[in-house]
Amino acid sequence: MTRLPAWRFALAFLICMVTGVTVAALPAEVDGQPLPSLAPILEQVTPAVVNVHTRTRVQVRTSPFFDDPFFRRFFDMPAVPRERVQQSLGSGVIVDGGEGLILTNNHVIDGADDIAVTLQDGREYSAELVGADRDTDLAVIRIRADQLDELPLADSERLRVGDFVVAVGNPFGLGQTVTSGIVSALGRSGLRGLEYQNFIQTDASINPGNSGGALIDLAGRLIGINTAIFTPSGGNVGIGFAIPANTASHVMAQLVEFGEVRRGSLGIEVQDLSTELRDALDIDAAGGVVVTRVRSGSALAGAGLRAGDVIKSVDGRAIANSQALRNIEGLLSVGAQVVVTYLRDGRRGEVNVTIEEDLDARISGRRLDDRLDGVGLIRIPDRSRASGVLVEEVRRNSHAWDAGLRAGDVIVAVNRQAVRHLGEMRSQFPVPGDRELSLEIRRRGVAYLVLL
């Protein structure tokens, strides 16, 4: 038998990867040799990819005064607004079949009142939210079901530009769909609204509804969670982004354990090195960021670092710019020991530091008081002249939401005790559960009182 030339196998493989129409017309064999196919891998993978449906009840009020908790309380107005229901579709990946844990995007389930999951075999279940992280756009939900397939997370650090990948999801609500492509780039950033960005870029079609779905390699390993597309038209133009599996694994572990991500901090502020700064600091080597401020009491303050030092690497990972440092810092576990390499006056130095959680920068409300469950609190930026504590988020239908607290509010007093920053607010707790918790807030320059 004449052996089929290698170039014909390669050509057939590319045809399989690029065009489904042509694939349908190809024979199963060419000169007695079977054509390569993704079908065997997908038969193992697709049962672990699910459709996620959410319903959100949105309040519709006839007057903006109804949104004012003080106005409602003062005039004894009933808090029974009209409602309309918003529905959305997305995707998810079962990563732990025994526990029923599903990874998806935060924006798929954010603010949802009801979450439902439909499996590939048609079974449908209500899902509960385990935890969500806005900074990485990841969330974990759980269903109670038997005989669930799972797709464990692989090591995304081994990815290379040019590797073939396959995206599985639920675009436009059409049902489970598979697209293919390659890894176009690694370490992408620049998307709005996310604090930590280290995306896998792919030309595999990712359309609305694919969010939260799986990005796999040709061995069927989960290497990323599809999250976004770059498009001027609302549809795929060959630029899609996925959250690397290593990032997803770190975030998921904390969401399952704590219901939130507890991030460590180096306690510094930095900026990228411009040409002028490199000349002024006499730095020839590429990469690195210059320290502009070291917070008192932070890990690096104790290690002796100061403004003007240039951070070159953290835990052996080179720092190209401030976003790269932010990404690494966001994945450092509290209590971890890392080596920080820096330059000072042209000399190289190293320090070993233990990563600590900066509770005066960000904290979840439930760590202060159960009545603040679902509330995210952060430090007001140093450049602002305002004092108080900024409310970063308030989960819908939480006790604080029902009481009238909203994202963007600034808390200036707790139980009539003024708070200038998050550290002072933390000192006001715990508050006995049988005592009313009052928060004085500022909203668009107007003072309100929120009672919990």
Residues in the chain: 452
Q: What is the pLDDT of residue 262?
A: 86
- Beta-carbon contacts of 5 under 8 Å, excluding residues fewer than 6 positions away, are none
What secondary structure letter does DSSP report for 203? -
SS3 207: coil
137 as an active site residue: the answer is yes
Domain 38-261: CATH architecture, name and number where available: Beta Barrel (2.40)
Domain ranges across the chain: 6-37, 38-261, 264-357, 362-451
Q: Is the pLDDT of residue 156 over 70?
A: yes
Q: Which of 110, 133, 137, 409 is catalytic?
A: 137
Number of helical H runs and strand E runs in the chain:
11, 29
141 against 12, higher pLDDT:
141
pLDDT tens string 46-76: 999 999 998 876 666 555 555 566 656 665 6
Q: What is the pLDDT of residue 24?
A: 45
Please tell me the pTM assigned to this model. Answer: 0.77
296 as an active site residue: the answer is no
Q: Which of 53, 107, 250, 399 is catalytic?
A: 107
One DSSP character per residue, 243-278 reads EEHHHHHHHHHHHHHHSS--BEE--EEEEE--HHHH
Mean pLDDT of the chain: 82
Do residues 243 and 225 touch, judged by C-beta distance below 8 A? yes
High-pLDDT (> 70) share of the chain, %: 81
31 as an active site residue: the answer is no
On the question of a common fold for 264-357 and 362-451, the answer reads yes
Q: What is the pLDDT of residue 80?
A: 52
Q: What is the pLDDT of residue 89?
A: 81
Q: What is the pLDDT of residue 70?
A: 60
What is the average pLDDT across 373-402?
Answer: 84
Instruction: Report the distance separating Cα 227 and Cα 353, nearest Å.
Output: 33
Q: What is the pLDDT of residue 4?
A: 47
Q: Which of 91, 205, 211, 398 is catalytic?
A: 211
Tell me the fold of 362-451: Pdz3 Domain (2.30.42)
Q: What is the helix, strand, coil percentage profile of the chain, to 5?
A: 20, 35, 40
pLDDT tens string 391-444: 988 888 788 998 999 989 999 999 999 999 888 899 888 888 778 899 999 998
Domain 264-357: CATH architecture, name and number where available: Roll (2.30)
Q: What is the pLDDT of residue 384?
A: 63
Q: Is the pLDDT of residue 123 over 80?
A: yes
Confidence of residue 8 (pLDDT cuts 50, 70, 90): very low
Confidence of residue 190 (pLDDT cuts 50, 70, 90): low
pLDDT tens string 313-358: 998 888 888 888 888 887 788 888 899 999 888 888 999 988 888 7
Do residues 210 and 167 touch, judged by C-beta distance below 8 A? yes
